[in-house]
Amino acid sequence: MHQQKFRPLPSDLTDKEWSILAPLMPIPAATGRPRADDRKTLNGILYVLSTGCRWSDLPDERYGSGKTCWFRFRQWRESGLWNGIAGALLLRLNRLRKVNLANAYIDASVRQNKRGALIRLATRATRRKTA
């Protein structure tokens, strides 16, 4: 079967990016149906995430089945693969000195407690019934 070449889209992985992510991909099972190409599937997932299109609207000839892309996205989310990818990319950027932590923010809400103040939390016994 002839493999059609497509012009790369901004959401598609470059060869260099794929060389970083390929070792993180799960090992295919030795038995059963042949696994769809991980790079093609990952490009399909990135396309949906960047364009906002529906999984069923993915071009089959470019990314494979939209159902496969959705299933892998969900499977990789549940297995923690996305966190592993983010960690690997962050480590690589840090090694290349491309991460500037001077501008890093943590999403948190901070409130200073008044020293010596007793804080009472509402419990079942102290709650008043309102009717």
For 34-77, the pLDDT digits (tens) are 999 999 999 999 999 999 999 999 998 999 999 999 999 999 99
Would 50 be classed as within a structural domain? yes
Please check whether residue 130 lies inside any domain of the structure. Answer: no
Long-range contact pairs involving 40-48 (C-beta distance under 8 Å, separation at least 24): 40/64, 41/68, 41/69, 41/72, 42/13, 42/72, 43/11, 43/12, 43/13, 44/68, 44/69, 45/69, 45/72, 45/73, 46/11, 46/12, 46/13, 47/9, 47/11, 47/12, 48/73
120 in a structural domain: no
Taking 3-state DSSP, the helix, strand and coil percentages for the chain, each rounded to the nearest 5, stand at 50, 0, 50
**pLDDT at position 113 over 80:** no
Domain assignment of residue 129, yes or no: no
How far is Cα 92 from Cα 95, in angstroms, rounded to an integer?
Answer: 5
Cα–Cα distance measured from residue 112 to residue 99, given in angstroms and rounded to the nearest whole number: 30
What is the residue range of 87's domain? 37-100
Q: How many domains does the chain have?
A: 1
Over residues 12-24, mean pLDDT? 92
90 belongs to a structural domain? yes
pTM of the model: 0.71
Tokens found for residue 121: 């939390």
Query: Is 56 inside any structural domain?
Result: yes
Q: The tokens of 101 are what? A: 């932590």
